[in-house]
Amino acid sequence: MQHTETLKEVLQFYADAGVDMALDETPHNRLAAPKEIAEPAAAPAGRTHGHSAPADQIQPSVAAKPAPAFTPPAPDTKTHDAHLEEARQLAASATSLDELIALLKNYDGCGLKRTATNTVFEDGNREARIMLVGEAPERDEDLQGMPFAGRSGQLLDKILQAIGLDRSSVYMGNILPWRPPGNRTPTNAEMELCKPFIIRQIELAKPELLVFLGTSCAKNLLDTTDGILKLRGKWRSYSKAEIPVLPTLHPKNLLRQPAQKRLVWRDFLNLRKAAIEKGILPTISE
């Protein structure tokens, strides 16, 4: 009983520290004594038999089988620039969203893919005229392979519902398709390597209105250093395709700071107004 409690505490400690996934299918006891191949035992001093046991009488020790040799992954000899060029060429060559996903799944230039469970590419309706772009998958998204599958997504669903939208009337993607381990902040290099794919995803989806959720999404896709509190709430043009884009706070910020919901509510009312003007949403009669 006491052991169970201790184990729970250890697991909780790992979870709190962000270690919430296993990188291998079987656990390894890294503290165990090294396993050795059984050798014919030398006769202990003082014995008079004068010979070791015949090979067929040697009892193999429990650990007689050598552990499979660890094969390190082949070193990545390509430079960052070479990986980036590959990402750009692959993304540009995609003529459909299906092709883009296939190319992305085969692209090995970004190290985040190695620790992720799934490539998290899209959710919602590809034909939708509104597209929302988020940041990076977290645990639930990584496990389910779908953007906004977790708590942030549940809150986002409620916000969408409040203005008459849902996942069948919007399309969703992320600037990063792979979860950074333990939800750490992605590096600039990782974001740069994934950027050609989200740019192409937007081009191929051809939305009429875009919403960028969160600081890193807005900064990265709008090529600005301004923070989200400065960017939010004002329509601007997404220069790659001249699409009106509304940056706003990410729902995960609202889970931490519920007081900011009023800002996001204002932004989504703004989105609703633009959607009505474009005939995407019907005018609500008073």
Positions touching ligand URA (CB under 6 A) are: 134-138, 141, 147-148, 152, 174, 250, 252
**Nearest distance from residue 239's CB to ligand URA, in Å?**
22
Residue number closest to ligand URA, CB atom: 134
**Nearest distance from residue 258's CB to ligand URA, in Å?**
17
Of residues 147 and 281, the one with the C-beta less far from ligand URA: 147
Report CA-CA distances (Å) from 39 to 61, 62, 141, 155.
9, 12, 50, 63
How far is 70 from 68, CA to CA, in rounded Å? 6
**Nearest distance from residue 161's CB to ligand URA, in Å?**
18
**Nearest distance from residue 220's CB to ligand URA, in Å?**
12
Strand partners, 243: 238
**Nearest distance from residue 274's CB to ligand URA, in Å?**
22
Of residues 88 and 126, the one with the C-beta less far from ligand URA: 126
At residue 52, what are phi and psi to the nearest 5 degrees? -85, 165
CB atoms within 10 A of CB 249: 22
How far is 146 from 137, CA to CA, in rounded Å? 8
Of residues 36 and 166, the one with the C-beta less far from ligand URA: 166
* Host H or E run for residue 132: strand 130-134
Of residues 100 and 281, the one with the C-beta less far from ligand URA: 100
Asked if residue 253 lies in contact with residue 260, where contact means CB atoms within 8 angstroms, the answer is: yes
Of residues 15 and 37, the one with the C-beta less far from ligand URA: 15
How far is 156 from 140, CA to CA, in rounded Å? 15
Alpha carbon 231 to chain centroid distance?
24
Of residues 141 and 190, the one with the C-beta less far from ligand URA: 141
**Nearest distance from residue 219's CB to ligand URA, in Å?**
13
Closest CA to 204 of 241, 244, 242: 241
How far is 194 from 189, CA to CA, in rounded Å? 9
**Nearest distance from residue 193's CB to ligand URA, in Å?**
17
Report CA-CA distances (Å) from 146 to 44, 150, 281.
64, 9, 25
